[in-house]
Amino acid sequence: MSLLPPTVEQQRRIDEELPPDPEMRSRDIAAIREWLAKQPHLPDHMDDKRLEHFLFGCKNSVERCKKILETYFSARTALSEFFAARDPLARDVQQSCDVVEYFVLPRVTEDGYRVTILRLHDTALERFSLTAITRRILMVLDVRLQEEPSLSNIMIFDLKGFTAGHFAKCSPTQAIVKKAMLATQDSMPFRLHRVHYLNAPAFINSILNIFYPLLKEKLITKFRIHTGGGEELHAYLDKDILPCEWGGKAGTFQELNESWRLKIEKNRDWFLREEKLSKTNESARLPSSRSTILKELEGVQGSFRKLNID
């Protein structure tokens, strides 16, 4: 299933928030390319379309775009757990597709936001790999960067089937979880509008309390916790854009999950090529441009405070 473009009315709302200016965009892209040419440690192989999508995701801020590009490439060098061996046909990626349903809905919301859903299909704890899930999420985000700009995003976590064991694997006290947060939140030009938790268990507040001290208050205000299922989203979203199981017309969970499995498989050659190209040359890095990712990995606190929030 393709990502459907905004309707005329949805595009009007997007343009109201970020007014289009083709001449300014061309100048900004030229400025970013000039900056890249002066960074000997960074690659300069992105086409204008992807750079434009980066810039749009940074609300057309050239300086913000430079910062995200630096982190985007640095993360791919420093966090090999998620960016090495990104073969969509690899066993761990395929198993992740079987165990966790993760997909982007075809249609945007009335405000022009993209909606992403993550839920368990197989509750077997031994088949639940946070590393594989994170690798796959980042692959989907890279596909999205190629296909379209994104105004903002709504994330829906369906916690049905999650046990204390699943939550333990996602505890921020584990190094792999902190690395996953760095990779997904700090290195991509995607903004977050809202996070919905469905089928939240009775102990959800105890789980979230572990994260709250590490999160900006502004992010916490974006959380919506629901004890019920997808029907609770109808108060927030046009239900027609939702999966069939939640009263919508987007397709079933299985159809949507399989469509994104196929989408990343179709991009296999691109992923294998990008794995070699989208890296920093640390030996060429100037002393004045130390990687922020490396600073975080050395134990600097606050990696969760750099979430890209509207």
Give the per-residue pLDDT at 195. Answer: 95
Q: Beta partners for 117? A: 103, 156
Helices (H), the chain: 8-17, 22-37, 48-57, 62-78, 80-83, 91-99, 130-147, 164-169, 175-181, 204-211, 217-220, 253-266, 268-277, 292-297
- pLDDT above 60 (res 70): yes
- pLDDT above 90 (res 294): no
Give the per-residue pLDDT at 216. Answer: 66
Query: Residues 160-208: pLDDT tens digits?
Result: 999 989 988 888 778 888 888 888 877 899 999 999 999 999 888 888 7
Matching residue, tokens 């994170």: 134
Give the per-residue pLDDT at 300. Answer: 39
- pLDDT band for position 5 (cuts 50, 70, 90): very high
Residue 277: phi, psi to the nearest 5? -90, -40
- Cα angle 16-21-26, degrees, rounded to a multiple of 5: 145
Query: Residues 89-101: pLDDT tens digits?
Result: 999 999 999 999 9
Give the per-residue pLDDT at 66. Answer: 95
- Report whether 74 contacts 63 (CB < 8 A): no
> Is domain 7-294 in CATH 3.40.525.10, yes or no?
yes
- Percentage above 70 pLDDT, the chain: 94
* 308 vs 300, more confident: 308
Determine the Cα–Cα distance for residues 156 and 153; give it in Å rounded to an integer.
10
Give the per-residue pLDDT at 305. Answer: 43
- pLDDT above 80 (res 290): no
The arithmetic mean of pLDDT across residues 261-284, rounded, is 94
- pLDDT above 90 (res 310): no
- The CB-side HSE value for 134 (13 A sphere, CA atoms) comes to 23
Out of 84-98, 126-140, 286-300, which region has the weakest mean confidence (pLDDT)?
Answer: 286-300
- pLDDT above 90 (res 211): no
Query: Residues 130-150: pLDDT tens digits?
Result: 999 999 999 999 999 999 999
- Report whether 75 contacts 279 (CB < 8 A): no
- pLDDT above 50 (res 306): no
Give the per-residue pLDDT at 302. Answer: 45
